[in-house]
Amino acid sequence: MTCLPPDIEARLEPATRLPSLPAVVSELLVLASNHDAPLTDFATLLSRDPALCLQLLRLANSPYYRRGCDPVICCEHAVTRLGIDGTLTALLGFTLVRDATRGPLADYWRRTLAAAHLIPAIAKVVNPRHPGELSTRALLREVGVLLLYALDPNYFELTAQAATREQRLALEHRHLGCDRDQASSWLARRWQLPTNLFLQRPLEPEGQRHHEWLDGLCLELADELAGCCLDDDSDAIPAVLHRFQQRMNMDGNAQARLVDELASRLETLPDFLATTLSADEDIERLLVAGKQRLHGLTMSLAERLHHREDQLISLQRDNEALDVRASTDALTGLANRSALERRLEEMLEDAHARDKPLSVLFLDLDHFKPLNDRYGHRLGDIVLVNVAATLRDAIRESDLAARYGGEEFVIALRNTPEPGALRVAQRLQQWLAEQPMAQVDQRPLYVSASIGIAQWQPGMDSIDAASLVEKADLQMYQAKQAGRARISKAEQLQERAGETS
Ligand SMILES: Nc1nc2c(ncn2[C@@H]2O[C@H](COP(=O)(O)OP(=O)(O)OP(=O)(O)O)[C@@H](O)[C@H]2O)c(=O)[nH]1
């Protein structure tokens, strides 16, 4: 790949704002203000302006839009990838060429556009693989000329004496330090465009993939025919075609089809060029309109972005609310069993990491069934709600109280060794003994609980949340067995609440 000297690269940099044709831009602005304009209309329009086409391909091949997909080489695919907003963002930053209807710059344009106009007819017969791709290549084939012209406004005068392409390239090199091919491949690298966009002349078929050779040949034919048409040298067309058909080794049938296709395309060429290169419109008006449209687009994109952000925030809130609901016990508002398992696992990991003890209390209300049976389920619910509030009051913010199920509760106490856990259990039993959990016939109703204690402390084998709860549950069972309203911890049974302190 060609590397240009740094000073040439520095001079080419500002030249990359390639100018567009006012007539095409004018149509673009009409399309841009039509909200229902189909994307294909943009693609069709862009196939008439190398600068706009390049800007579009540049954005479509940028890492953001490409996202690991194949590179895009034709306008149709580029507009599909970018969507309407991306397409307009790429296009509305246009600059305009002044006086595109006369002189050598206009000639350059005519030839480029004529070749791009003719290529679909040729591709249809010769290599119908990707006709859109070939049209784009025809349009961009000599885009290096636009760069060199931006580099030096006398470019066309400088190269006027050259009769062949080779002579032109040599002159460009001599006067400007690089030729059109080098300039366009520099641009391809700079904008991360697929390098085969600027396919040049066809080499011989040997050593090249066949379709690339065919593509190159089609472009060359389109260019030569465009030259004949614009030089008003239609007598030269049969000879050009004949040479091409021989190189292609075309049979009679294909030759006839090619002539037919080209004839209909050539018929529409004058109209196509006339509209494309119509007398320059008011350049300033177009520039202002373009800026306004771009501004409007930026505003509406920003508005939509804000709207999306709002939607995202409310979605996050809904998700958080759902999370809370999914991990909360509906009756008591405590953590439910699945949240307990998750959070206790985290607390255990934290305890292991910090080398701090962690205690678990398993609490089961005593004789809750007879209470339910005697006073009704609703009163039972009130008791459960009040017991939950009592548990919440008995622990620190960093601890955890959960409803394990039915009338069973679990408390996890961070950084708490066995004596501390015992104190909490005793406090709970004392509170339950002192505070009624409901009123029945204006009389206070008290409940008691059996509590089992288990813990993990530094030096012990590691343990998971479920096993630790199970150990505490086992102790709770011991407390029940021993007569209820008791606290049990490994190997030691405490006295009845109120009897110990
Ligand atoms: N009101 C109410 N009762 C519940 C709820 N969940 C479970 N229960 C009741 O709690 C009672 C638990 O009874 P058991 O497991 O036999 O235990 P108990 O009667 O407390 O006896 P011990 O635990 O041996 O002291 C059952 O009657 C369940 O119906 C609830 O959400 N609300």
Any ligand 1 atom below 6 A from CB of 372: yes
Report helix, strand or coil for 53.
Answer: helix
Is residue 73 situated within a structural domain? yes
Residue 147 shares a structural domain with residue 259: yes
Residue 361 shares a structural domain with residue 293: no
Residue 283: count other Cβ atoms within 10 Å of its Cβ.
Answer: 16
> pLDDT tens for residues 287-333?
888 888 878 877 887 888 888 888 998 999 999 989 888 999 999 99
Report whether 404 contacts 340 (CB < 8 A): yes
d(CA 308, CA 166): 55
Give the residue, by CA position, lying nearest to ligand 1 atom 21: 367
387 CA from centroid of ligand 1 (Å): 13
Residue 432: count other Cβ atoms within 10 Å of its Cβ.
Answer: 23
Please report the DSSP string for 142-170 in residue order: THHHHHHHHH-TTHHHHHTT--SHHHHHH
d(CA 420, CA 460): 18
Any ligand 1 atom below 6 A from CB of 473: no
Residue 248 shares a structural domain with residue 388: no
165 CA from centroid of ligand 1 (Å): 97
Sign of CA dihedral 264, 269, 270, 274: positive
136-140, 259-263, 430-434: range with lowest mean pLDDT: 136-140
Confidence of residue 233 (pLDDT cuts 50, 70, 90): confident
Report whether 87 contacts 114 (CB < 8 A): no
Q: Which two tokens stand for residue 208?
A: 């090249």
Any ligand 1 atom below 6 A from CB of 330: no
Residue 381 shares a structural domain with residue 251: no
Is residue 344 situated within a structural domain? yes
Phi then psi for residue 184, to 5 deg, are -70, -35
- Residue 203's pLDDT is 55
Residue 170 shares a structural domain with residue 227: yes
- Residue 205's pLDDT is 56
Residue 344 shares a structural domain with residue 230: no
Give the residue, by CA position, lying nearest to ligand 1 atom 16: 369
Which residue bears the tokens 């509209």? 275
Residues in the chain: 501
Confidence of residue 170 (pLDDT cuts 50, 70, 90): very high
Residue 287 shares a structural domain with residue 353: no
Task: Give the ligand 1 atom nearest the CA of 405.
Answer: 6
413 CA from centroid of ligand 1 (Å): 25
- Return the bridge partners of 453, or none: 361, 489
Report whether 65 contacts 86 (CB < 8 A): yes
Is residue 329 situated within a structural domain? no
Please give the share of the chain, as a percent, with pLDDT higher than 90.
48
Sign of CA dihedral 216, 218, 222, 227: positive
- Residue 68's pLDDT is 80
More confident residue, 234 or 402: 402
Where b means 16+ CB within 10 Å and e means fewer, 39-72 reads bebbbebbbbbbbbbbbbbbbbbbeebeeeeeeb
Residue 26 shares a structural domain with residue 114: yes
Is residue 500 situated within a structural domain? no
More confident residue, 6 or 131: 6
> pLDDT tens for residues 342-386?
999 999 999 999 999 999 999 999 999 999 999 999 999 999 999
> pLDDT tens for residues 468-500?
999 999 999 999 999 999 999 976 444 444 443
Any ligand 1 atom below 6 A from CB of 374: no
Q: What is the DSSP-derived secondary structure letter of residue 328?
A: B
- Residue 498's pLDDT is 43
Which residue bears the tokens 């069993």? 337
Q: Where are the beta strands (DSSP E) in 366-447?
A: 400-405, 408-413, 438-440, 443-445
Q: Which two tokens stand for residue 245?
A: 């058909």
Any ligand 1 atom below 6 A from CB of 447: no
- Residue 292's pLDDT is 83
Residue 444 has pLDDT above 70, yes or no: yes
- Residue 213's pLDDT is 81
Identify the domain boundary among 281, 298, 315.
298
Amino acid code (one letter) for 292? Q
Give the residue, out of 365, 366, 368, 379, with the most ligand 1 atoms within 8 A of its beta carbon, to mutate for a pocket test. Answer: 368
Report whether 368 contacts 445 (CB < 8 A): no
How many independent structural domains does the chain possess? 2
Amino acid code (one letter) for 376? G
Which CATH number is 130's domain given?
1.10.3210.10
Report whether 339 contacts 328 (CB < 8 A): yes
365 CA from centroid of ligand 1 (Å): 8
- Residue 66's pLDDT is 86
- Residue 465's pLDDT is 95
> pLDDT tens for residues 182-226?
898 899 888 888 877 776 555 555 555 777 788 888 888 999 999
Please report the DSSP string for 440-473 in residue order: ETTEEE---EEEEEEEE-TTSPP--HHHHHHHHH
d(CA 421, CA 414): 10
Identify the domain boundary among 276, 298, 320.
298
Report whether 358 contacts 413 (CB < 8 A): yes
Residue 68 shares a structural domain with residue 202: yes
Which CATH number is 348's domain given?
3.30.70.270
Confidence of residue 96 (pLDDT cuts 50, 70, 90): confident
Is residue 130 situated within a structural domain? yes
Report whether 407 contacts 331 (CB < 8 A): no
- Residue 385's pLDDT is 97
According to the per-residue pLDDT averaged within each range, which of 84-88, 189-193, 434-438 is highest?
434-438
Any ligand 1 atom below 6 A from CB of 365: yes
Residue 62 shares a structural domain with residue 192: yes
Q: What is the DSSP-derived secondary structure letter of residue 253?
A: H
Residue 128 shares a structural domain with residue 207: yes
Task: Give the ligand 1 atom nearest the CA of 371.
Answer: 19
Is residue 303 situated within a structural domain? no
- Return the bridge partners of 349, or none: none
d(CA 470, CA 479): 14
Is residue 10 situated within a structural domain? yes
Residues in Cβ contact with 309 at an 8 Å cutoff, skipping those fewer than 6 apart:
none
Any ligand 1 atom below 6 A from CB of 364: yes
Is residue 375 situated within a structural domain? yes
- Residue 501's pLDDT is 28
Identify the domain boundary among 249, 282, 298.
298
ipTM higher than threshold 0.85 = yes
Amino acid code (one letter) for 22? P
Residue 233 shares a structural domain with residue 355: no
Give the residue, by CA position, lying nearest to ligand 1 atom 25: 366
d(CA 12, CA 226): 28
What is the rounded average pLDDT for all residues in the chain?
88
The arithmetic mean of pLDDT across residues 448-473, rounded, is: 95
d(CA 192, CA 215): 22
Taking the whole predicted model, whether its pTM rises above 0.90 is answered as: no
Residue 155: count other Cβ atoms within 10 Å of its Cβ.
Answer: 23
368 CA from centroid of ligand 1 (Å): 5
Range of the domain at 81: 6-298
Residue 147 has pLDDT above 50, yes or no: yes
